[in-house]
A and B are shown apart, each in its own frame.
Chain A
Amino acid sequence: EAQVTQNPRYLITVTGKKLTVTCSQNMNHEYMSWYRQDPGLGLRQIYYSMNVEVTDKGDVPEGYKVSRKEKRNFPLILESPSPNQTSLYFCASSLSTSGGTDTQYFGPGTRLTVL
């Protein structure tokens, strides 16, 4: 089944404890992206990647890191999480490199709570 998977689905952690949220897609998509969803704010893009080893900042990149060493994986790293990073996170992928002119397929989400 073609899909985007994220792990973990739920995570409760404490301030300052490094964490990684994994994202994997099995559709051979070029473009991958991370979003956070907060009540009343919609989805805001954190980082995106047009291809392996090519990443760029979205609208809210502060406090996050990403890497794209393989086409299928795009992990999101929080090196020192803070309470304002408590949110619902979505990974997405699309076939073309542009991301902005193509259907994006979303994962099921990761609900992160930072105490």
Chain B
Amino acid sequence: GENVEQHPSTLSVQEGDSAVIKCTYSDSASNYFPWYKQELGKGPQLIIDIRSNVGEKKDQRIAVTLNKTAKHFSLHITETQPEDSAVYFCTSGGSNYKLTFGKGTLLTVNP
């Protein structure tokens, strides 16, 4: 089955700096790569996604990149703010009725 590796497991940055989270996947049939943000005490919430026919997607301070050949995808957050502090999950999906989650990255933005 699909395996998603996510790094780093924890990331601490100063407010205003950029944060990058990297993931790899194993199943070449995967074609959908959403990122979820989980705030303390809440369920995960989609923040951005990318499909396999696109190499990059941006939404304000958040961007995702996808390298299908290398089976890598990354989340980039610029100008980080304290409210960006949360656990971030990369996931991969396809036609097999499921999303496979990475183990998560705890991002801390220090004021």
Partner-B contacts on A (CB < 8 A): 4, 31, 33, 35, 40-45, 48, 50, 56, 58-59, 90, 92, 97-104, 106-109
With beta carbons under 8 angstroms apart, the residue of B9, B32, B36, B42 that contacts A100 is B32
A108 to B40, CA, bound (A): 11
Residues of B11-36 at the interface with A, using a CB-CB cut-off of 8 Å, are 31-32, 34, 36
Nearest CB of chain B from residue A1's CB, rounded to whole Å = 14
With beta carbons under 8 angstroms apart, the residue of A40, A90, A103 that contacts B43 is A90
Nearest CB of chain B from residue A74's CB, rounded to whole Å = 14
With beta carbons under 8 angstroms apart, the residue of A40, A59, A100, A106 that contacts B93 is A100
A54 to B6, CA, bound (A): 32
| A104 touching B97, Cβ below 8 Å | no
Q: How many A-B residue pairs have CB under 8 A?
A: 66
Q: How many residues of B contact A (CB 8 A)?
A: 26
Given A59-B1, A109-B43: A104 touches B99 (CB 8 Å cut-off): yes
Nearest CB of chain B from residue A29's CB, rounded to whole Å = 14
| A100 touching B1, Cβ below 8 Å | no
| B99 touching A99, Cβ below 8 Å | yes
Residues of B within 8 A of A92 (CB): 43
Residues of A within 8 A of B43 (CB): 4, 90, 92, 106-109
With beta carbons under 8 angstroms apart, the residue of A33, A35, A108 that contacts B42 is A108
| A99 touching B44, Cβ below 8 Å | no
Given A48-B97, A101-B93: A42 touches B1 (CB 8 Å cut-off): no
Residues of B within 8 A of A4 (CB): 43
Residues of B within 8 A of A59 (CB): 1
Residues of B within 8 A of A44 (CB): 101
Given A101-B93, A108-B42: A45 touches B98 (CB 8 Å cut-off): yes
